[in-house]
Amino acid sequence: MLKESWSLVEEHQDKVAGYFYARIFLSYPDLRDLFPVQMDVQRARLLGAIVQAVQTLEDPERFDDYLRSLGRDHRKFHVEPEHYEVVGGALIESMRAHAGEQWGVEYDQAWADAYAVIAAKMLAGAEADPNPPYWYAEVVAHERRSQDIAVFTVLPLQPLDFRAGQYLSVEAPRYQPRLWRTYSPANAPRRDNTLEFHVRAVGAGWVSSALVRRLQVGDMIKVAAPMGTMTLDRRSTRDAVFVAGGTGLAPVKSLLEELTRYNRTRWVHVFFGARNREDLYDLADLNRLAARYPWLSVVTACSDDPTFPGEQGDISDVVAKYGPWKEHDFFVSGSGRMVRSTLKRLAELQVPSVRIKYDSFNE
C-alpha cells in the first residue's frame, strides 16, 4: 500500500516537497532554523529520506540499529521529540493533497502506522544516547596538499569516543551553516583527542570546498555521531588488504594507526590509487610507515598519469594483479565508482563478501 500510494504522487515529487516544507514552516516557523539556508540545493532531501525509509524498511525490526543511530544522529539537527508528529502529519497531508481522487483513507493509515514505528525507534535511539548531540572542535592545523585536497587537524573541546575506521558528521558553521557531511578521521583515537581529516573538494561541492579552500586555523567546526562498521576485528588472524581511492585513504590510515599499536603477526597490504600523482597526497607518510613496519607493504597506482613510475590503471585492476586473496580480510574505501569496481573485482576473485568491509563516499 505504501508503494502503491507513493506511485500516485511520485511524478510530482517537487510539488509534494514544496508543500511538505511549506506545511511544516507555516505551522511551526521555528523549524525553519533547523534546515540549511539554501533549501533549493537540499530540495526534498528530508522528504526523500523519509519516503525511502518508510518504503524500504518493511520490517523495521531488522533495521533497529540503523534507525536508533539515525535518531541519535538527528539530535545534531536540533530535532526534538515533538517535531516528529509535525513532520509525519505534513508528510501524509502533502501526499494526499497531490494524489487526487485515487487517494484512500487506508493509505493515510498505512503511512501513519509505518512512520510511527520508525519514529519510535529513532526517538528511543536519541533518548538512550549518553553523548552530546555534537562536539565543537577547534581547527589547529590546515594544510593544502593539492589543488583540491586538504589535510587538517581539529581538537574537540570535550573527549569524543570513536573507533578506528569509523566516520563522523561534520559541519563548518562559519561557512556552510546546517549542512552536515560525513568524513573519516585519518587517525585512531589519540590521548590528545585530536582528529585529522583528509578532504577532497568535489565539483560544486558545498561543504568539501569550504573545508578545503576556506577553513582556517582557529575556526570552530562541529563534529557528531561516530558511525560505521569498517573497524578491525582484533580476533582475526588473517592478513589484511586495504584498498583506498583518493581521500578514501583517511579511514585506512586510521586502521593502520590502530594496527601499529598491536600488530606483530598479520601481513598488511595497502593499495592506494588516484587519477594522477598530485592526488596521491599522502604518499610520503605511507612510505614512512612502510619503512618502519616490516609487516606493511604499499602499492600505488595512477589511472591518468602515464609517466607515473608506480602501477598504471584503476586500483581495482591493480589489486587483481597481485594475490591470491582468498584468505584475506579486505577494507575498501573511496568514491562510489571506485568501491563498486573493486567489489566487483573481488567477487570475480572469489573473495567471500563476509570478509569485505567498505565505505563508499557516494552511495
Ligand X SMILES: Cc1cc2nc3c(=O)[nH]c(=O)nc-3n(C[C@H](O)[C@H](O)[C@H](O)COP(=O)(O)OP(=O)(O)OC[C@H]3O[C@@H](n4cnc5c(N)ncnc54)[C@H](O)[C@@H]3O)c2cc1C
Q: Please report, as a single letter, which amino acid is at residue 91.
A: L
Q: In the complex, what is the shortest distance from the CB of residue 22 to ligand X, in angstroms, rounded to a whole number?
A: 24
Among ligand X, ligand HEM, none, the one that 198 touches (CB under a kind-dependent 5 to 8 A) is ligand X
| Distance separating alpha carbons of residues 54 and 115, to the nearest angstrom | 6
CA 77 from centroid of its chain's CA atoms: 16
CB of 17 to ligand X, least distance (A): 17
What minimum distance in Å lies between the beta carbon of 304 and ligand X? 15
Q: Is residue 119 part of the contact set for ligand HEM (CB under 6 A)?
A: yes
CB of 225 to ligand X, least distance (A): 12
Tell me the CA end-to-end span of the chain in Å, nearest whole number: 27
Can you tell me which of 16, 17, 50, 339 binds ligand HEM, judged by CB under 6 A? Answer: 50
| Residue whose entry in the numeric block shows the C-alpha cell 526534498 | 44
Q: What angle do CA 126, 152, 143 make, to 5 degrees?
A: 160
Measured distance CA(79)–CA(76) in Å, rounded: 7
CA distances 76 to 88, 159, 165, 290, Å, are 19, 17, 21, 39
- Contact between residue 277 and residue 308 where contact means Cβ atoms under 8 Å apart: yes
Q: Which one, 2 or 289, has the nearer CB to ligand HEM? A: 2
Q: Residue 170 interacts with ligand HEM (CB under 6 A)?
A: no
Applying CB under 6 A, what is the total number of residues that bind ligand HEM?
22
Binding ligand HEM (rule: CB under 6 A), the pick from 15, 45, 62, 326 is: 45
What is the C-alpha to C-alpha distance for residues 252 and 285, in angstroms, rounded to an integer?
13
- Binding flag, residue 356, ligand HEM (CB under 6 A): no
- Residue in the structure block whose three cell numbers are 515529487: 13
Among ligand X, ligand HEM, none, residue 96 binds (CB under 5-8 Å by kind)? none
Q: With CB under 6 A as the contact rule, which of the stretches 7-15, 81-89, 320-328, 347-355 interacts with ligand HEM? A: 81-89
Question: Is residue 193 a contact partner of residue 141, using CB atoms and an 8 Å limit?
Answer: no
Supply the minimum distance, in Å, between the C-beta of residue 63 and ligand HEM.
10
The string over 235-250, giving b where at least 16 C-beta atoms fall within 10 Å of a residue's C-beta and e elsewhere, is eeeeebbbbbbbbbbb
CA-to-CA separations, 238 to 312, 328, 329, 330, in angstroms, rounded: 28, 6, 6, 10
Q: Kindly state the smallest distance separating residue 204's Cβ from ligand X, in Å.
A: 5
Q: Is residue 180 within the footprint of ligand HEM (CB under 6 A)?
A: yes
Confirm or reject binding of residue 84 to ligand HEM (CB under 6 A): yes
Nearest to 317 by CA among 283, 277, 348, 288: 348
Q: How far apart are CA 29 and CA 167, in angstroms?
A: 33
Sheet holding 181-183, edge to edge: 181-183, 167-171, 220-227, 135-144, 149-156, 195-200
The nearer residue to ligand X, 265 or 362, going by C-beta atoms, is 362
208 binds, among ligand HEM, ligand X, none (CB under 5 to 8 A by kind): ligand X
**Closest residue to ligand X in the complex (CB):** 205
Per CB under 6 A, the segment of 73-81, 290-298, 301-309, 323-331 that binds ligand HEM is: 73-81
Query: Could you say whether residue 22 binds ligand HEM (CB under 6 A)?
Result: no
211 CB contacts (<8 Å, ≥6 apart)?
150, 152, 170, 172, 183, 197, 199, 201
User: Could you tell me the smallest distance in angstroms from the CB atom of residue 9 to ligand X?
Assistant: 24
Residue 361 binding: pick among ligand X, ligand HEM, none (C-beta 5-8 Å cut-off by kind): ligand X
How would you class 12 by CB atoms within 10 Å of its CB: exposed for 0-12, middle for 13-18, buried for 19 or more? middle
Q: From the list ligand X, ligand HEM, none, which binds 20 (C-beta under 5 to 8 Å, kind-based)?
A: none
* Site residues, ligand X (CB under 6 A): 167, 181-184, 198-200, 202-209, 228, 247, 250, 335, 359, 361-362
Q: Does 121 bind ligand HEM (CB under 6 A)?
A: no
The binder of 207, among ligand X, ligand HEM, none, by C-beta within 5 to 8 A per type, is: ligand X
- Give the interface with ligand HEM as residue ranges (CB under 6 A): 31, 34-36, 42, 45-46, 49-50, 53, 70, 74, 77, 79, 83-84, 87, 115, 118-119, 122, 180
